[in-house]
């Protein structure tokens, strides 16, 4: 699949991770020059080296999305290297096993865990958007894609901090679309459902996986490429009339009454 991104400079945060690396590859194959930014410098270098080995242009930068200085340094380095910035995919998030394990319901929430989720997922993404806009506004062009989650749309018994931090990302996306649309800048959010990346599947209890699979309307769970294709499409001019949207790629998990997919068998005789 080709998304006509020839010559564009695309920065992907968390570019060394599952969805991020898939996005780097699909955008590179569509002609973009790639900045792979990640807290895991070695893995970011490996993703960039892999792209270069396939004939694409890519560099790696170290980024800690929890640090304003680090975010600003990433943008300075991107500008110094390429002199332009067309696409930012804010994909990095705090997804450590420790954080995921402690991030439960509000009654048991440790304030530090709440703050940690917001420090990276919301504050870091906001600073990244701000620095991107400061480069894109004078050029009167640019696309920002923020990664939220389908968990930002519905109540849950776990990950209250993560979900709230991602819901704020959706609202930030609408604010940017509103303030900067006339300046030639589009901003959309993608909302992945459970997607087969190591960090998502590593510590997922079997009951939870089964529940999500049952509520997923498509035959299987998504792969990193399923999210990356949506990001690349939104980054392309083919999506020039789309801004301020929160688009789920979650196999329809978030669009139906929970439990009703199973009842299809009862009412319509359709086997799951
Ligand atoms: N995989 C899923 O099921 C799923 C579902 C909903 C939303 N998402 C979202 O998709 C995005 C990517 O998820 P993934 O499954 O590919 O995760 P992943 O763990 O495979 O990749 C995340 C990447 O972000 C990097 N990272 C973590 N903290 C960072 C920081 N402070 N600064 C810079 N980089 C940092 C990690 O090193 C990693 O390479 C995240 O925003 C996540 O919340 C994923």
Question: Ligand 1 centre from 59 Cα, in Å?
Answer: 19
Under a CB-based contact definition with an 8 Å cutoff, are residues 165 and 118 in contact? yes
Pocket of ligand 1 (CB under 6 A): 13-14, 16-20, 38-40, 63-66, 91-95, 120, 147, 149, 192, 194-195, 197, 199-200
Residue 272: pLDDT band with limits 50, 70, 90: low
Question: Ligand 1 centre from 17 Cα, in Å?
Answer: 6
Has 241 been annotated as catalytic?
A: no
Paired residues of 37 in beta bridges: 13, 61
CATH class of the 9-268 domain in this structure: alpha beta
Angle between helix 18-29 and helix 224-235 axes, rounded to 10 deg: 50
Catalytic residue chosen out of the listed positions 3, 162, 241, 260: 162
Reported as a single tens digit per residue, the pLDDT across 4-46 is 999 999 999 999 999 999 999 999 999 999 999 999 999 999 9
Reported as a single tens digit per residue, the pLDDT across 227-258 is 999 999 999 999 999 999 999 999 999 999 88
Could you tell me what percent of the chain has a pLDDT over 90?
90
Question: Ligand 1 centre from 56 Cα, in Å?
Answer: 23
- Domain locations in the chain as residue ranges: 9-268
Element (H, E) at 43: helix 41-53
Q: Cα-flanking dihedrals φ and ψ of residue 185, to 5°? A: -115, 125
Reported as a single tens digit per residue, the pLDDT across 62-106 is 999 999 999 999 999 999 999 999 999 999 999 999 999 999 999
């Amino acid at each position: 699949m080709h998304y006509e991104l020839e010559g564009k400079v695309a920065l992907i945060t968390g570019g060394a991770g599952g969805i991020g690396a898939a996005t780097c590859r699909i955008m590179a194959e569509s002609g973009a020059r790639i900045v792979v930014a990640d807290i895991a410098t070695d893995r970011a270098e490996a993703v960039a080296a892999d792209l270069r080995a396939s004939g694409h242009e890519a560099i790696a930068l170290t980024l800690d999305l929890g640090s304003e200085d680090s975010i600003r340094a990433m943008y300075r380095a991107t500008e110094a290297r390429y002199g332009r910035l067309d696409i930012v995919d804010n994909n990095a998030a705090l997804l450590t096993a420790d954080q995921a394990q402690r991030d439960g319901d509000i009654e048991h929430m440790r304030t530090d865990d709440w703050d940690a989720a917001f420090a990276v997922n919301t504050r870091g993404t906001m600073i990244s958007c701000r620095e991107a806009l400061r480069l894109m506004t004078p050029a009167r062009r640019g696309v920002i894609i923020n990664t939220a989650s389908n968990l930002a749309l519905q109540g849950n018994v776990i990950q209250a901090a993560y979900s709230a931090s991602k819901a704020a990302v959706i609202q930030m996306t609408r604010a940017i679309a509103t303030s900067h649309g006339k300046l030639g800048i589009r901003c959309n959010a993608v909302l992945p459902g459970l997607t087969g990346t190591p960090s998502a599947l590593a510590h997922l209890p079997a009951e939870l996986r089964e529940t999500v699979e049952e509520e997923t309307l498509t035959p299987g769970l998504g792969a990193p490429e399923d999210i990356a294709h949506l990001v690349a499409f939104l980054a392309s001019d083919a999506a020039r009339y789309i801004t301020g949207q929160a688009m789920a790629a979650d196999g329809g998990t978030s669009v139906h009454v929970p439990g009703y997919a199973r009842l299809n068998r009862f009412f319509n005789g359709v086997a799951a």
